[in-house]
């Protein structure tokens, strides 16, 4: 009898303690999968009259290696592979996801050699993708899209789509989502190697398994990798990895953040900047993205975290705002911190990406590049650069250090997606811009430079040409962007619009 | 009797009512033979929420399916929850956010949707006939 009681007590401590606090994306009520069917019908109808929507159609199969038609000349010193990631399955069996962020990730590889440009693409074989591909239908409810008979979603990795970014780490590619584990990919075959357990072979053991690992790690000039992961509870996990991707230190930061979603962050040479936007997640709603709204009463909070200890050092409260992405941060000898954000006045753009999934093109307010200075005495200033701004990038060797150059996409003629790329001088505000025009849906452009000198090297990025239904990859001289691409290579078809990527030189 | 060497174990209640029945619970898709399965039977929602099991058992893990039988269960509504203690440390390991990192599941094969199922979803009734219920383990 004593043993039985002891046994019961062990159970109570274990399951009750472990299962009860399962973090949830939402308190779910079951929603008929009919919403997803309706979404598919609305999108199909809208696609007939709006060719811009082709970027959101998606693909069904991998793309084998294909040689691309090249215009212009590939620069002699431009050799390597440009990898991009993005959601590429939005619909199965007449059911269409309700948010752009929910689709399964696909890695695109553009390889540049003396022989020319080749392309191939492969879906990331996540546990979710593998099961749904085999079944030929969606099996799991997503953050926003709810299936009536969803299979168990025991944690974020159950529905990890690995669809947001791809980062070279120690000879592998890490396909990144933001709510769960990173997924290792072979850069040569694009085959999926498996989910990365950051605690493996460390004293953290299984305690890091399945933790959120954001899609925007920051890599110091010496290769040290920093990242964060957030959860709806407001707890944020902070990671310090070495250049081989091995975990060095992990800490949990209690923030009381109630926004639910946190996409990007920054580093200086001494600190991490966890920047919490002015958003609130309504826990009573049964969606994730759909439950988040802008709150003008909530300041944009900047948490300054010591890199050495991964603990909070100080906090700044700024005017309310929202940003998906930041370019860079650095601090001067006095300890004043400067950083930039593609800053939105509200959250309409997040919900735009839900509207577009049903074929509805709305006109949300756009982001602008905004430079913030956080003075050591607590004073803060901000300065906004004219023009629409998204997908900011910098020269990699200046991550966390003073940068004079910021690359962003912009929108000049189009109100659907970005249609231009520009280089901003961060001191003068002067812009060097190339406008593809409203016939193009332009994606992130990244800096490719081996000289470690701002102004040298190239930009590379993709764009979907709407009238011809083809995607092209473009190379610009970084210091002459407005001259247009020096080289452009065309795919025979359009590929789905994606999010982020990186260049791996050979 | 060595509990840990058994793949099936039965724990009888001290007081056995005349109308008692058996409850057979099958756990499917167990990944490997390491560790043990800790299984709890609850009578009623109140006791489930209070974490007070009516009965409980431990069985050695076995790849595939394990069948556990609770004997002499009086009439009423019940629910079962369990976990696979893969590293045999006597507790259900979680990550830093509190998410289980070892397998677990519930009676009625109740589905986990970003959090544990409700009591109603895992509950079953014991009356005049023996009861069979099952769960596919979630890792």
In chain B, residues with a C-beta closer than 8 Å to the C-beta of A207 are 93-96, 101
Output the pLDDT for position A19: 43
Residue B111 lies in a domain: yes
Give the angle A212-A343-A415 at the CA atoms, nearest 5°.
105
Tell me if B97 and A235 make a contact (CB, 8 A cut-off).
yes
Range of the domain at B91: 3-8+19-136
Whether B32 has its CB under 8 Å from any CB of chain A: the answer is no
Residue B13 lies in a domain: no
Output the pLDDT for position B18: 54
Distances (CA, A) of A505 to A79, A109, A187, A502, B4: 6, 12, 12, 10, 56
Residue B94 lies in a domain: yes
Tell me if B96 and A212 make a contact (CB, 8 A cut-off).
no
Residues A417-430, buried b or exposed e (16+ Cβ, 10 A)?
bbbbbbbbebeeee
Contact A499, A444 (CB under 8 A): yes
In CATH, what number is assigned to the domain containing residue B114?
2.60.40
Tell me if B96 and A7 make a contact (CB, 8 A cut-off).
no
* A189 Cβ contact list (under 8 Å, min separation 6): none
- Burial category of A106 from C-beta neighbours within 10 Å (exposed 0-12, middle 13-18, buried 19 and up): buried
Residue B56 lies in a domain: yes
Closest residue to A206, CB basis, from B14, B58, B93: B93
Residue B84 lies in a domain: yes
Which residues of chain B are under the pLDDT cut of 70?
A: 1-19
Tell me if B52 and A235 make a contact (CB, 8 A cut-off).
no
Q: What is the longest distance spanned by two Cα atoms in chain B?
A: 47
pLDDT digits (tens, 9 = 90+) for A230-256: 988 899 999 999 999 999 999 999 999
In chain B, residues with a C-beta closer than 8 Å to the C-beta of A28 are 113-115
CA dihedral A30, A31, A36, A42 (to 10 degrees): -170
Tell me if B138 and A12 make a contact (CB, 8 A cut-off).
no
pLDDT digits (tens, 9 = 90+) for A254-303: 999 999 999 999 999 999 999 999 999 998 988 999 999 999 999 999 99
Comparing alpha-carbon positions, the chain A residue that sits nearest to B54 is A8
Closest residue to A207, CB basis, from B83, B95, B113: B95
Closest residue to A18, CB basis, from B82, B90, B98: B98
Strand, helix or coil for residue A127:
helix
Q: Residue A19 and residue A14: Cα distance in Å, rounded?
A: 8
Which DSSP symbol is given to A181?
Answer: -
Query: What does DSSP say about strands B21-30 and B131-136: parallel, antiparallel, or unpaired?
Result: parallel
Output the pLDDT for position A415: 84
Q: Residue A350 and residue A281: Cα distance in Å, rounded?
A: 13
> How much is the pTM?
0.90
Which residues of chain A are under the pLDDT cut of 50?
A: 1-31
What domain count does chain B have?
1
- Give residue for tokens 């309409």: A348
Closest residue to A231, CB basis, from B97, B100, B102: B97
Closest residue to A7, CB basis, from B56, B83, B116: B56
Query: How many A-B residue pairs are in contact by the CB < 8 A criterion?
Result: 123
Whether B97 has its CB under 8 Å from any CB of chain A: the answer is yes
Contact A307, A333 (CB under 8 A): no
CA dihedral A219, A224, A229, A234 (to 10 degrees): -100
Question: How near does any CA of chain B get to the CA of A236, in Å?
Answer: 9
Domains of chain A (ranges plus CATH)?
Answer: 30-505 (2.130.10.10)
Contact A86, A106 (CB under 8 A): yes
**Arithmetic mean of pLDDT over chain A:** 93
């Amino acid at each position: 009898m004593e043993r039985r009681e002891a046994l019961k007590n062990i159970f109570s401590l274990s399951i009750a303690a472990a299962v009860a606090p399962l973090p949830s994306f939402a308190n779910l009520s079951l929603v008929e999968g009919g919403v997803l069917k309706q979404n598919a019908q609305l999108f199909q109808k809208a696609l007939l009259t709006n060719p811009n929507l082709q970027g959101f159609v998606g693909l069904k199969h991998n793309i084998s290696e294909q040689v691309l038609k090249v215009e212009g000349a590939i620069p002699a010193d431009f050799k390597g592979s440009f990898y991009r990631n993005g959601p590429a399955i939005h619909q199965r069996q007449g059911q269409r996801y309700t948010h752009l962020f929910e689709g399964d990730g696909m890695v695109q590889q553009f390889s540049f050699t003396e022989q020319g440009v080749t392309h191939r693409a492969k879906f990331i074989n996540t546990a979710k993708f593998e099961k749904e591909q085999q079944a030929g239908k969606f099996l799991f409810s997503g953050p926003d899209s709810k299936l009536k008979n969803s299979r168990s979603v025991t944690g974020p990795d159950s529905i990890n789509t690995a669809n947001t970014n791809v980062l070279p780490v120690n000879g592998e590619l890490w396909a990144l989502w933001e709510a769960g584990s990173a997924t290792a990919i072979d850069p040569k075959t694009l085959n999926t190697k498996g989910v990365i357990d950051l605690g493996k072979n460390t004293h953290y053991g299984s305690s890091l398994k399945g933790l959120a690992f954001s899609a925007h790690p920051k890599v110091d000039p010496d290769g040290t990798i920093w990242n964060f992961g957030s959860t709806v509870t407001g707890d944020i996990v902070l990671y310090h990895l070495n250049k081989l991707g091995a975990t060095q230190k992990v800490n949990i930061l209690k923030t009381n953040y109630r926004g639910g979603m946190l996409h990007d962050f920054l580093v200086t040479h001494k600190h991490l900047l966890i920047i919490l936007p002015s958003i609130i997640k309504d826990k009573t709603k049964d969606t994730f993205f759909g439950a988040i709204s802008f709150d003008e009463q909530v300041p944009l909070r900047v948490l300054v975290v010591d890199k050495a200890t991964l603990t909070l050092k100080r906090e700044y409260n700024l005017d309310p705002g929202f940003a998906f992405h930041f370019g860079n941060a650095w601090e001067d000898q006095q300890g004043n911190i400067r950083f930039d954000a593609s800053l939105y006045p509200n959250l309409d753009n997040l919900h735009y990406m839900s509207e577009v999934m049903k074929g509805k093109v709305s006109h949300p307010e756009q982001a602008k590049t905004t430079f913030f200075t956080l003075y050591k005495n607590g004073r803060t200033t901000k300065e906004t650069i004219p023009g629409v701004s998204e997908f900011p990038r910098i020269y990699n060797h200046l991550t966390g250090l003073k940068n004079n150059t910021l690359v962003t996409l912009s929108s000049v003629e189009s109100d659907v997606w970005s249609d231009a790329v520009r280089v901003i001088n961060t001191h003068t505000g002067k812009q060097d811009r190339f406008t593809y025009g409203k016939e193009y849906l332009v994606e992130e452009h990244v800096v490719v430079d081996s000289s470690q000198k701002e102004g040298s090297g190239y930009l590379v990025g993709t764009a979907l040409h709407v009238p011809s239904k083809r995607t092209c990859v473009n190379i610009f001289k970084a210091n002459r962007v407005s001259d247009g691409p020096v080289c452009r290579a065309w795919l025979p078809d359009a590929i789905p619009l994606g999010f982020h990527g990186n260049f791996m030189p050979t | 009797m060595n509990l840990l060497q058994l793949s099936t174990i039965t724990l009888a209640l001290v007081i056995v009512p005349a109308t008692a029945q058996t409850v057979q619970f099958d756990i499917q898709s167990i990944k490997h033979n390491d560790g043990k399965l800790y299984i709890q039977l609850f009578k009623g929602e109140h006791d489930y929420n209070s974490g007070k099991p009516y009965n409980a058992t431990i069985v050695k893990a076995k790849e595939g399916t394990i069948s556990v039988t609770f004997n002499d269960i009086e009439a009423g509504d019940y629910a079962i929850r369990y976990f696979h203690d893969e590293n045999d440390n006597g507790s259900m390991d979680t990550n830093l956010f509190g998410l289980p990192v070892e397998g677990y599941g519930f009676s009625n094969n109740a589905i986990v949707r970003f959090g544990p199922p409700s009591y109603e979803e895992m509950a079953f009734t014991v009356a005049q006939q023996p009861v069979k219920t099952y769960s596919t383990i979630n890792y």
